[in-house]
């Protein structure tokens, strides 16, 4: 194939990648993940040059960046240096070097709660190559040629830390632009690391930064939660009907249990008006005791939370001097510092700074934001009750940048804690108070599933 045609193919690969990334509103300079890998390249024996009867694997290195298009799909761009040799990781008589080596591929990864995620990918590999041959005691190298190959493969990624993962992959490559037949074929194995970069906040009017509360991957995980919840609802009636089958015909008891354990709308209405009544059976009395214990636990948890907040407020007052509010410039400077810690995933440090700021000047225009970002930190740490308390504090402010954000996040926290009716109330309040909010479509989406 002529050199011009090969350059056109390489240009089409790069153009396609740019269109895919920019078409999603993503920036080439702001990838979602970066990483590197060690590679081993093996050339198929049937396509080895110079009548080599056998080939083995050569070492290489690669660096790459990933741009997430959706929770389960991303585009990856990689640049590296590969080799294929006639001996394992060493050259006896023959070596093929690939540089520059540009890979562009689409990766489909199954999204879930587990740390081990399988993935599959396909794409294009554009590269320059030259061969080296030992004859006698001398080594002779060819000129550099340019080709492209199709690749398809699969792998597995294992999360080891909050933002760090290991991966292993293997793929098959067919060099469709090579002159002559048979076309070169390669097998490539990779092992490396992937680092998830902190999320970048969006610009908000007036210079206030805004981050979408709950990213797409978290929303995908919540979809699983809705599915599990739906399955639980469907099973609930069947299990209870078997559990409470009367020895004699007790139609009224069955009706009582059906109304008690039926749709959550009727349950929430009953809770709001009066305490639930249980059948006068041994199981019914046990369930009444369980219900009473749950109420006692909830009440005690609330009291403990209130005492904890009072203690923290006194500690912050002693440590920061609440009697002398910070200047506006100093407040904003410390606020930006806390935000940076949040984006760096230093959640505990960020919580301390946000809480101290809110205590130092509760009337500052960004005080409610401090409570909101405290909630975001707790949410990222999986402490949903603490997150909910922080988001509820935002809702006590009459004017705040984060009122609609806090309503959505409160609903999501309730959902994660299993409080379906409370989650429904928060989503509905968001739609009622802020129908034009950018988060209204998400609230409608979740209401439709509850």
Q: What is the CATH number of the domain that holds 31?
A: 2.40.160.20
Residues 155, 108 within the same domain? yes
Residues 94, 34 within the same domain? yes
Residues of the chain with pLDDT under 50: 1, 25, 50-53, 200-212, 229-274, 318-323
Residues 39, 187 within the same domain? yes
Range of the domain at 374: 204-236+321-450
Residues 42, 128 within the same domain? yes
pLDDT of residue 200: 47
How far from the centroid of its chain's Cα atoms is residue 34's Cα?
A: 15
241 inside domain: no
Q: How far apart are CA 226 and CA 436, in angstroms?
A: 25
pLDDT of residue 109: 86
247 inside domain: no
Instruction: Count the domains in the chain.
Output: 2
333 inside domain: yes
pLDDT of residue 245: 42
Q: How far apart are CA 236 and CA 258, in angstroms?
A: 10
Residues 228, 333 within the same domain? yes
Concatenate the DSSP letters of all residues of 292-308 into one string: HHHHHHHHHHHHHHHHH
Residues 65, 180 within the same domain? yes
271 inside domain: no
128 inside domain: yes
350 inside domain: yes
Residues 115, 227 within the same domain? no
311 inside domain: no
Residues 123, 208 within the same domain? no
Distances (CA, A) of 193 to 100, 158, 343: 21, 10, 21
Residue 199 CB partners (closer than 8 Å, separation 6+): 211, 215, 343
Q: How far apart are CA 326 and CA 366, in angstroms?
A: 12
Residues 355, 328 within the same domain? yes
């Amino acid at each position: 194939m002529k050199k011009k045609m090969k350059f056109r193919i390489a240009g089409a690969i790069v153009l396609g990648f740019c269109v895919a990334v920019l078409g999603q509103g993503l920036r080439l300079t702001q990838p979602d993940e970066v990483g590197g890998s060690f590679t081993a390249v093996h050339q198929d024996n049937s396509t080895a040059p110079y009548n080599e009867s056998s080939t083995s694997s050569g070492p290489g290195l690669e660096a790459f960046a990933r741009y997430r298009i959706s929770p389960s799909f991303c585009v990856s761009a990689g640049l590296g240096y590969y080799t294929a040799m006639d001996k394992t990781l060493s050259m006896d008589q023959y070596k093929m070097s690939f540089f520059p080596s540009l890979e562009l591929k689409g990766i489909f990864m199954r999204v879930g709660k587990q740390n081990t995620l399988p993935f599959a990918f396909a794409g294009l590999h554009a590269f320059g190559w030259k061969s080296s041959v030992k004859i006698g005691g001398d080594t002779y190298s060819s000129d550099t040629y340019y080709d492209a190959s199709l690749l398809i493969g699969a792998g597995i990624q294992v999360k080891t830390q909050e933002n760090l993962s290991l991966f292993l992959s293997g793929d098959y490559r067919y060099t469709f632009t090579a002159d002559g037949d048979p076309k070169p074929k390669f097998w490539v194995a990779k092992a490396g690391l992937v680092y998830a970069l902190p999320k970048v906040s969006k610009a908000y009017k007036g210079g206030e930064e805004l981050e979408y509360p709950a990213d797409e991957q978290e929303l995908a995980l919540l979809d699983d939660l809705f599915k599990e919840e739906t399955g639980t609802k469907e099973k609930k009636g069947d299990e209870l009907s078997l559990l409470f089958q009367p020895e004699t015909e007790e139609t009224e008891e069955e009706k009582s249990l059906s109304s008690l354990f039926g749709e959550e709308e009727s349950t929430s209405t009953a809770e709001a008006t009066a305490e639930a009544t249980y059948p006068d059976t041994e199981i019914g009395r046990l369930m009444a005791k369980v219900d009473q214990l749950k109420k006692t636990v909830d009440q005690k948890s609330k009291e403990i939370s209130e005492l904890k907040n009072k203690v923290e407020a006194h500690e912050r007052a002693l440590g920061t001097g609440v009697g002398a509010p910070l200047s506006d410039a100093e407040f904003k400077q410390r606020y930006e510092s806390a935000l940076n810690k949040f984006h760096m995933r230093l959640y505990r440090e960020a919580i301390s700074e946000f809480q101290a700021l809110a205590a130092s000047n509760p009337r500052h225009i960004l005080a409610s934001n401090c409570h909101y970002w405290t909630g975001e930190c707790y949410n990222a740490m999986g402490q949903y009750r603490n997150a909910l308390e922080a988001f509820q504090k935002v809702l006590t402010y009459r004017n705040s940048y984060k009122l609609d954000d806090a309503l959505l996040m409160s609903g999501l926290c309730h959902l994660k804690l299993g409080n379906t009716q409370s989650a429904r109330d928060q989503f509905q309040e968001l739609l009622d108070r802020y129908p034009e909010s950018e988060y209204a479509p998400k609230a409608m989406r979740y209401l439709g599933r509850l």
